[in-house]
Structure 1
Amino acid sequence: MKAFACGDVVPGCDARWVCSSEDEILASVGAHAASAHGLTDLPPDLVGAVRSSIVAA
């Protein structure tokens, strides 16, 4: 299992995920970034920050 907290990348955001794979987290984070943060395209540096903040759950 993998876990990610959006607040680790976007201060003040309380969204969190626990998924079976990093790919599942990235898909969920992409949808969340669009709906909650207005980001329709995730820049590579943001994807990198998300990847580096994913931990084992």
Structure 2
Amino acid sequence: MKAFRCGDVVPGCARTFSGTEDDILGQVAQHAQHDHGLTDIPEALVTQVREAMTPA
């Protein structure tokens, strides 16, 4: 299990996620679209999310 805090990549966002890496990436993609207005998730953002994940 891993955890991710969106605020580690997007300052000011308090949303958190936990689960497997794939679970988190899916949840973050939906969050980025709905809450941050991103229609396309750049690979650089995926890399940042992966690097910011911590053991849960």
Structure 1 and Structure 2 fold alike (TM over 0.5): yes
Structure 1 residue 18, shift from structure 2 partner: 1.3
What runs of 5+ residues in structure 1 fail to find an aligned partner?
none
Aligned residue number for residue 13 of structure 2: 13
Kindly report the root-mean-square deviation, in angstroms, between the aligned alpha carbons of the 2 structures: 0.5
Name the TM-score, length of structure 2 as normaliser.
0.96
Instruction: Tell me, in whole angstroms, the C-alpha distance in 2 between the residues paired with 1:33 and 1:40.
Output: 8
Name the TM-score, length of structure 1 as normaliser.
0.95
Identity of aligned residues (%): 54
Matches within 5 A, 1:28-43: 28-43=27-42
Ranges of 4+ aligned residues in structure 1 off by more than 2 Å = none
How many matched pairs? Answer: 56
Q: Deviations 1:1-57 (Å, cap 9, x if unpaired)?
A: 1100000000000000111x1000000000000000000111111110001001110
What runs of 5+ residues in structure 2 fail to find an aligned partner?
none
